Structure 1
Amino acid sequence: MIKYIFGFFIILGLGAAGWLYNLYDEIKHDVDTVVNYAPKQSTQFYDKDGNIIANTFKDENREYVKYDDIPARIIEGLVAIEDTQFFEHSGINPDAISRAIIKDIKAGAFVEGASTLTQQLIKMLVLSSEKKIMRKVKEALLAIRLESILTKEEILERYLNNVYFGHGYYGIKTAAKGYFDKDLYELSLKEMAILVGLPRAPSFYDPTKNLKISLARANQVITRLNTLGWINPDQYESSMKEIPIIHNQTLTKNSAPYAIDYAISQLINDIPDIKYGGYKVYLTIDSDAQEIAKDSLKQSYDEALKRANSKDDSDKELNGAMISMESSTGKILAIVGGVDYNKSVFNRAFQSKRQAGSAIKPFLYQIALNEGYNPASQLFDISRTYNYTVDGVQKKWQPKNYGGKFEGIVTLRDSLTFSRNLSTLNLVTDVGIDLTTNELKRYGFNDIVGNLSITLGSMSVTLVEFSEAYSIFSNNGVQVKPYIIEQIVNKNGEVVTIEPQTKEIISPEQSYLITSILNDVVTRGTGKAAQVPGIELAGKTGTTNNNVDAWFCGYSPSIQTLVWFGNDNNTPMKRTETGGKIAAPVFGNFYKKYLELHPEIPRTFTMPQNVYTSNINGKTELFTDKSPLPEIDILVQPSSPGEEVLEF
């Protein structure tokens, strides 16, 4: 009889061993999940001064922290309140299990758990939290196996980075910044106690909702530390009395959402997990400039609404955009894609192509200067009728100046200063459509048609593209590519640094001729609303047909800024909304405010050595070897308008 009983137990034991082996074989891949822990991590974006301006994440807002960077007091507090024998057991705590079983039997239900921190980590990462025998067996087996692979420190690192602390914060570093606006090493003992007390019931103990309950829980942690002798009486007394300041905030922050969206657009194709891969992205953005740009754009927008008829539905479509960059490098200091991100996330600074209008004129005049014209060259500002055909149908085009008047004869300088359409048309006609078109393409414009419509800015550009083109003026003939990302650091500490991209297009002396004229635009021409006392500025207004688009594109001796306004549905704005009326004030206000914060920036344009001055017709004028002073001072006005045949 005894041998049968003995055989029965052998069979039972072998069966149990086989069952446990099959069970472990079934769940061993779960061990790999914990060992090869790779949580989603927030990506931090910083401005040029190293200030954080945004966190981006997917599902879980988490900033990872290594074990060596976690204060010892946090470890002690966690172990004291959750698993005092953590550093002695091998994954499970038999004594705690025995106590829990006795209480559960007496209650007739699961009333007390006995999970170690190792078991809690497994439950968080690979198992459910349901209270069933099979789940508890799996949990115990995994805990024992895990502790044979990972060190205690590695387990704690995973636990403190994975656990949810309430309020949308995952991981202890994120929670410290969220609740206390501090790094871990800055926390007081009471603040640490609040944090380590949260994982048991994060919503219930959330200090932003239930501060008294949260403090009571923290006091339990501190009392336990005192009972274990891990803190001294003075630390105990002072900590029990402390009531920390709690911050109720969102860690997404994102003080410059349009800038962040543009930065992400530049990275997303090469780094698909940029939003949640734990990167640190250092931007060229100047937070002060970004705020000034946003406020300046909104101010002009509000003024435009006051001028508008409130019954006009098109006013609801009015919006604007702005980009400012360091002229010599292309570093974007501010980029605003709309007047209110909360109402529209569409980023008009890079997602929208709009017609350049008369803001294209400086490029046309630069081409003429490079062909031997001079700022003093005389141009015909007269009406001409152009015959052209479209699909075999004969049509006529008779362009006009803004306001309908013409001067007859104007200098090249005054023609650009006052944005004369007719003299510009005549200038481009004389220089040649083909040459002008080819040069515009060399300057970076792609949407070009080979006819006189280019003189009215028919090509479409984004603000970013237009900024790159305009840099040939603001950067002395050297074109720079605007960029917003300075450096990227991945979670392994690998660094990628972005360098400026430059290309010499024209000589410094030739570009300076345009700068001198665009300075006149601001001081006495169509851009007078952009003036700022104490600093030289250059720029060009731009207004397309029917006031669909309004621009001001300009620069100081060191910073270039472009402003655009228009209706999102491409309908005309009010006739009053020109580049000089709605866009130039934004430019002026930006430089006024920026100059107050940075009085050290260069104030005057520097004339290159190969630019000379002389008197002509009683006025001082500039000239270069390529753009000599004209030999003929006075032109005879034609007696009648001319006609020219165009093919569109």
Structure 2
Amino acid sequence: MQEPRAASPPDPGPRGDTHHPGTLPPGARRSARVLRARRPRSPFTWFFGFLSILGPPLQITALGLTGAALFIAVHDPQLPSIESLLQAQYETPLQVYSRDGALMAEFGIERRQPVAFSEIPPLVINAFLATEDSRFFEHAGVDFVGLGRALLSFAETGAKTQGGSTITMQVTRNVLLSAEKTFERKLAEILLTLQVERELTKDQILDLYLNQIFFGHRAYGISAAAALYYNKDLDALTPAEAAMLAGIPKAPTTNNPVTNPARALARRNYILGRMLELGYIDQAEYEIAVLTPDLARLHRRAPELEAGYVAEMARQAIADYYGEAALSQGLRVTTTIESRLQEAAQHAVRRALRDYDRRHGYYGAEARVDLDGARDADLDTYLAEVVRVPDLTAGLVLNASADAAEVYLAGGERVTLALKHVAWAQEFRNENWRGPKPRRVTDVLAAGDLVRLQQGTDGQWELGQKPRVSGALVTIAPRDGAVRALVGGYSFNESKFNRAVDMRRQPGSSFKPFVYAAALHRGWTPASLLRDEAVKNAGQEGWNPRNADRKELGPIRMRRALALSRNLASINLLQDLGLEDAQDYIQQFGFDLEALPLGLSMALGTGEMSPVKLAEGFAVFANGGYHVVPYFIERVETREGQVLFEARAPQACADCWYRSGDASAMVLPTSPLPQAPQVIDPRIAYQMTSLMREVIETGTGTRAKALGRSDVVGKTGTTNDIRDSWFAGYQANFVTVAWMGFDDFEKLGRGEEGGRAALGMWVDFMAEALDGLPVASLEPPPGMVQVRVDPNRGTPTRARGGLLEMVSEEFKDALQGPEAFRVAGPARAADTSVRRSAPRVMDDLF
């Protein structure tokens, strides 16, 4: 049955001037039909029409290919370039070394040792191919056979037991893409993988893969992994070790041979089986490998030189100059530190701080622990959490009696302490008072005490304690300011505060040489008489300076005044010299105005500065008058060996100052270097060296005579109430400053002036530093003459009892200086009386 036709529209008549609404005029109908016939069909119409004639499987395939094509068209311009893959920077730790090549520290989250592909043995490569991608050299980046096998396994088991990612896909994902698991990211991975395979060789891809994969415990790359787990180079790995390493990247954090040895061993043996199956090893090698016990353990490269404070200074300097990113670019920093001197400095500081603590008594146990029912494993767990302190081993007292105590030292080790091993441990009451000597071991120790032990020179254990006092030591080369050793505290791991550089404390009397140098510049001489008497018009309300012995010695020669560290004589000298003139001159030593208070107390070192800054000033005396700035970085190189920075520090005169025999004590440079500015007359440097030698011979620094050398000089320094103990001194090769004090400004106690606490540290270091070096001699510079002076009046004399003094030629007839202070009446034996009345140490600030 036919469908009914639609009714024809009424005929509008022969003229066609009107027509039914919604209809075309008669003359337009044919042309409209023609237009409809020629209009092109939509692409979607064609596509879906095409799909309609295909079966469902082919329809799904066509849709997938179409979607991929659309994804490529849209995302291809946005994908990362292959050039970024080639230029990928491996994060490699910043390494800091001493001048003689000892590793001081590594800084970086990732441990890497990038290695060229040609240096990776075939055995190692085959182990990774066996487990990760055995068809690597056959496919074009995407292994459809492997993908199909993985999909089939998933369909059969419902578990993802096989992976479909090739090595190329892993490289692409790890370096160029994020780790998110989305369809879009997977398609991008496939596209990039195909592109990588087109533009890189297989060797280049393996190179990238083996150098960037993660192996757990912060190790990245096969070379770093071999060093971490087996402490071996790649060419020394056995088949068993290579297979073990190849099995780690699948689950590096949880299934490495240290964290989970059982699972790691099972995977190793599976990989060995695959290597046998693929012909990478033979049957005999396989049987030996699977029976080989695994010996993997962590072999972290420990620093060869303990210098935490300098290493941190280097890290901060690199971050400040090159940016934080530079810390992971494998830069190698070579410092000016010398291993032998650094070790001597560290030893000297620690010994001095421990000795100070012993002199002042025992503070008691660090903690008390309930040992009831505790086993060795429990004690080991507890001790593992205790902060480690160098040279002081933590232990727990298991039991104690009147005669002995048993102390557990971890790992099952037990030691016995007798009364002689704790005899020093009188109870600490305050900085000047200790309790009685212990008569029984139980006077000192009780069960459950957490204590520190140290080994004596005879190897016997004895009671120790963690020092509460702090200290610092720095030594620099006077010729160019290179820091040869620097210690900022007992242990960097315990306290990161660098007292050698960042601390600001009053130097006390160790600052006096700069005031005396200013006076020599203005016309005073070592023979000039100073007034060791109450200061008139001190200019500071409530300030009543005095000498340490509370005495006034009257007229005293400049040489003796400095040697005995007479405060009043120094203040009167500064008053006569003039504050502003003195400041102008002293600034030339490198001191900031902030460190030079405009007041008479400047003569007593009331400005604040660091040990490094004080060493900078003393270096001017030590090198003949040149100002050198301390520096500690000698060279910075990239991991490829390109030099980014090399120090060219200005040098002091190398052949016009100290000499050892016929040759200069300072080695001439191999190439011309800039010369440091000469800021003071070398004759003044010579006179100050002579004056500070008197400090050692007859003054407050006589402990330095234990060195048995005539070429060491220096000055003690002690601040008010003995809160800071200093000694600053030098020899031809080293300018060394030692400091001791409490971080909270507590008093050190009686007898801990610069001539004992700090000087003991200084002597201990210098004994090691100068070992084997010849005694250096210092000849007077041109323009100096020798005069004989009266020891009491400081005036020229021809008497046999006169003292010889070297003075600048222009001042030989005016020894008393511009502010002459002469002794009236009969001469008195001033020097003799000084010796009788002077206390053993008298260089307190006030």
Q: Which residue of 2 is the match for residue 603 of structure 1?
A: 775
Q: Which amino acid aligns with 1:52?
A: L
Q: Which residue of 1 is the match for residue 203 of structure 2?
A: 153
SS at match of 2:161: coil
CA pair 242-498 structure 1, distance change in 2 beyond 3 A: farther
Q: Which residue of 2 is the match for residue 327 of structure 1?
A: 478
Q: Which amino acid aligns with 1:616?
A: V
| In structure 2, C-alpha distance between the alignment counterparts of 1:332 and 1:72, rounded to whole Å | 47
SS at match of 2:556: strand
TM-score, normalised relative to structure 2: 0.68
Stretch of structure 1 that moved more, 26-35 or 334-343:
26-35
Q: Which residue of 2 is the match for residue 578 of structure 1?
A: 753
Equivalent runs, 1:243-642 vs 2, <5 Å: 246=296, 248-251=298-301, 253=303, 255-273=306-324, 274-308=326-360, 310-312=428-430, 318-388=469-539, 395-446=541-592, 447=594, 448-491=596-639, 493-495=641-643, 496-501=645-650, 502-535=676-709, 536-596=711-771, 599=772, 601-610=773-782, 612-617=785-790, 618-625=802-809, 628=812, 631=815, 635-636=822-823
Percent of paired sites with the same residue: 31
RMSD: 3.5
The count of corresponding residues between Structure 1 and Structure 2 is: 630
Structure 1 position 457, deviation (Å): 1.0
| In structure 2, C-alpha distance between the alignment counterparts of 1:567 and 1:622, rounded to whole Å | 41
1:417/1:517 contact within 8 Å kept: yes
| In structure 1, C-alpha distance between the alignment counterparts of 2:293 and 2:774, rounded to whole Å | 50
1:258/1:335 contact within 8 Å kept: yes
CA pair 634-469 structure 1, distance change in 2 beyond 3 A: closer
CA pair 148-417 structure 1, distance change in 2 beyond 3 A: same
Structure 1 position 238, deviation (Å): 7.4
2:682/2:781 contact within 8 Å kept: no
| In structure 2, C-alpha distance between the alignment counterparts of 1:482 and 1:163, rounded to whole Å | 42
Structure 1 position 2, deviation (Å): 9.6
2:211/2:222 contact within 8 Å kept: yes
SS at match of 1:478: coil
TM-score, normalised relative to structure 1: 0.87
| In structure 1, C-alpha distance between the alignment counterparts of 2:478 and 2:81, rounded to whole Å | 55
Which ranges in structure 2 are unaligned for 5 or more consecutive residues?
1-48, 362-427, 433-465, 651-675, 791-801, 827-846
Deviations 1:232-262 (A, max 9, x none): 7887787677768655354574832111122
SS at match of 1:460: coil
Stretch of structure 1 that moved more, 18-27 or 115-124:
18-27
Q: Which residue of 1 is the match for residue 134 of structure 2?
A: 84
Q: Which residue of 2 is the match for residue 645 of structure 1?
A: none
CA pair 268-533 structure 1, distance change in 2 beyond 3 A: same
Q: Which amino acid aligns with 1:296?
A: A
Structure 1 position 5, deviation (Å): 1.8
1:477/1:506 contact within 8 Å kept: yes
| In structure 2, C-alpha distance between the alignment counterparts of 1:214 and 1:263, rounded to whole Å | 39
Larger RCO, structures 1/2 (Cα 8 Å, 6+ apart): 1
CA pair 172-431 structure 1, distance change in 2 beyond 3 A: same
1:386/1:396 contact within 8 Å kept: no
Q: Which residue of 2 is the match for residue 110 of structure 1?
A: 160
2:707/2:763 contact within 8 Å kept: no
CA pair 179-477 structure 1, distance change in 2 beyond 3 A: farther
CA pair 193-594 structure 1, distance change in 2 beyond 3 A: farther
| In structure 2, C-alpha distance between the alignment counterparts of 1:482 and 1:557, rounded to whole Å | 16
| In structure 1, C-alpha distance between the alignment counterparts of 2:282 and 2:683, rounded to whole Å | 75
| In structure 1, C-alpha distance between the alignment counterparts of 2:637 and 2:95, rounded to whole Å | 10
Deviations 1:312-331 (A, max 9, x none): 59998632222112221211
1:385/1:396 contact within 8 Å kept: no
Which ranges in structure 1 are unaligned for 5 or more consecutive residues?
390-394, 640-648
Q: Which amino acid aligns with 1:140?
A: I
CA pair 226-426 structure 1, distance change in 2 beyond 3 A: same
SS at match of 2:226: helix
1:357/1:458 contact within 8 Å kept: yes
Structure 1 position 630, deviation (Å): 5.4
| In structure 2, C-alpha distance between the alignment counterparts of 1:594 and 1:241, rounded to whole Å | 54
Stretch of structure 1 that moved more, 171-180 or 400-409:
171-180
SS at match of 1:323: strand
Q: Which residue of 2 is the match for residue 174 of structure 1?
A: 224
Stretch of structure 1 that moved more, 210-219 or 540-549:
210-219
2:533/2:553 contact within 8 Å kept: yes
SS at match of 2:728: strand
Structure 1 position 74, deviation (Å): 3.0
| In structure 1, C-alpha distance between the alignment counterparts of 2:70 and 2:53, rounded to whole Å | 25
2:51/2:59 contact within 8 Å kept: no
| In structure 2, C-alpha distance between the alignment counterparts of 1:48 and 1:192, rounded to whole Å | 36
Structure 1 position 628, deviation (Å): 3.6
The structure whose residues are more often helix, as a share, is 1
Deviations 1:517-553 (A, max 9, x none): 2223233321233345354311111112222322111
1:376/1:629 contact within 8 Å kept: no
Q: Which amino acid aligns with 1:349?
A: A
| In structure 2, C-alpha distance between the alignment counterparts of 1:228 and 1:412, rounded to whole Å | 91
CA pair 177-507 structure 1, distance change in 2 beyond 3 A: farther
Deviations 1:27-57 (A, max 9, x none): 8535656454234321111111122211101
Q: Which amino acid aligns with 1:635?
A: R
| In structure 2, C-alpha distance between the alignment counterparts of 1:242 and 1:185, rounded to whole Å | 18
2:344/2:769 contact within 8 Å kept: yes
Structure 1 position 584, deviation (Å): 0.8
Bigger Cα Rg:
2
Stretch of structure 1 that moved more, 484-493 or 248-257:
248-257
